[in-house]
Amino acid sequence: MIEHLPTGSTIGILGGGQLGRMLSVAAARLGYKTHIFEPGAAPAADVAAACTHAAYEDTEALEAFARSVDVVTFEFENVPAEALDRIEAIKPLRPNHKALSVSQDRLTEKDFLSGLGLQTAPYANVESLEDLTEALKTIGCPAILKTRRLGYDGKGQVSITAPEQAEEAFDAMKGAPAVLEGFVDFSMEISVIAARGLSGEVSCFDPGQNLHEGGILRRTTVPAPIPARLRTDAVLMAGRILNELDYLGVLGVELFVTSAGLVVNEIAPRVHNSGHWTQNGCAVDQFEQHIRAVTGWPLGDGSRHADVVMENLIGDDMERVPALAADHTVALHLYGKTETRPGRKMGHANRIGPRSA
């Protein structure tokens, strides 16, 4: 049996948003302290033993942070590469830098997935207007042009419905390297939240169906209404990705269900919004599963004991909290953010029902 990190050790978490907050709570449940590193607002700091407020470029703060903890993980995939290198030179980074690098760049990610023989949307590298014009000929319209890096919740993306829009779309990238993606004709989007531990074991939560609005996840319904065969396919694909990356921790895989099978939309090397349902559907949720993986525990029981519909509470949805609080089928999870802004994720509600199948 692999020895896990001793009780009372400290886990460093890069990023102090709601994902870091829920990771911190899971870490505490296993007897660990956490130390958050966050340049901006940090709701996670309210439930952490320590918080460093500094920029990722602040080498001194970053190194002091790394020295003060026993292992480092992250809730945010766009940490600059140099910061990650500095941390990895001092303490174990889990998942490792390679896993993060793959998903930090849409082109690298798609090349990686294709290399594994997995289906992705048709795509092409776009470094110039000429690249884009050529790519549109192959991929056709409609298509979507995305920056290779730093996309999040629909930011850094432009839809192209006719070849004449190429120049305007290219200019919108502001010189950033980009990738053109063809549209995929899908019946639904699903996601698998998967975990891999230190001994190489893999555990996946049941796939859920995701509904987006305005590029932001609105709702995840578990189980996803798909045949058992597709459910198994999805889980096997996630397992291959984890193995190939020598991954430690939880990873989210978004998939399109199409007539030609499952197409990988994207992977997120962290706990994932579409896995929040596990907090009320499983004995061990995605946050504890991640902490178990990065501290060397065996993975826990992620089997589903209930059906759950997870709904994000975004901006003014907070006005619904009193009614949701009185609804006995709902478990509420609020992030402690005091300022409500349109598009800001303020919390989520898990609506729980008996397990169907």
Binding residues: 106, 146, 151-157, 181-184, 189, 212, 265-266
Count of all residues that appear for the chain in the document:
357
Residue 42 CB, nearest approach to a second copy (Å): 11
Backbone angles phi, psi at 331, to 5 degrees: -105, 130
> Considering beta carbons, is residue 1 or 357 the nearer one to a second copy?
1
**In terms of CB distance, is 162 or 326 closer to a second copy?**
326
Query: Looking at beta carbons only, is 176 or 334 nearer to a second copy?
Result: 334
Q: Smallest distance, Å, CB 4 to a second copy?
A: 7
Radius of gyration in angstroms for the set of CA atoms belonging to the chain, rounded to a whole number: 20
Least distance in angstroms from the C-beta of 321 to a second copy: 8
**Minimum CB distance to a second copy, residue 89 (Å):** 27
Classify burial at 170, counting beta carbons within 10 Å of its beta carbon; exposed 0-12, middle 13-18, buried 19 or more.
buried
Which residue's CB is nearer to a second copy, number 80 or number 336? 336
Q: Which is nearer to a second copy, 34 or 274 (CB)?
A: 34
Q: Which residues sit at the interface with a second copy, rule CB under 8 A?
A: 1, 3-4, 7-8, 21, 24-25, 28-34, 45-49, 280, 283-284, 292, 297-298, 300-301, 303, 305-306, 318, 321-322, 325-326, 328-329, 331-338, 346-347, 352
- Closer residue to a second copy (CB): 148 or 196: 196
Q: What one-character-per-residue DSSP string does 104-152 give?
A: HSHHHHHHHHHHTT--B--EEEESSHHHHHHHHHHH-SSEEEEESS---
Question: Smallest distance from the beta carbon of 310 to a second copy, in angstroms?
Answer: 14
Q: Which residues contact 175 (CB under 8 A, 6 or more apart)?
A: none
Q: How far is the CB of 81 from a second copy (least distance, A)?
A: 31
Q: Report the alpha-carbon distance of residue 93 to residue 136 in Å, rounded.
A: 39
The C-alpha atoms of residue 222 and residue 303 are separated, in whole angstroms, by: 12
DSSP 8-state code for residue 247 = -
User: What single letter denotes the amino acid at residue 123?
Assistant: Y
Q: What is the C-alpha to C-alpha distance for residues 78 and 73, in angstroms, rounded to an integer?
A: 13
Cα–Cα distance for residue pair 25/139, rounded to 1 Å: 45
Binding-site annotation: residue ranges for ATP:
106, 146, 151-157, 181-184, 189, 212, 265-266
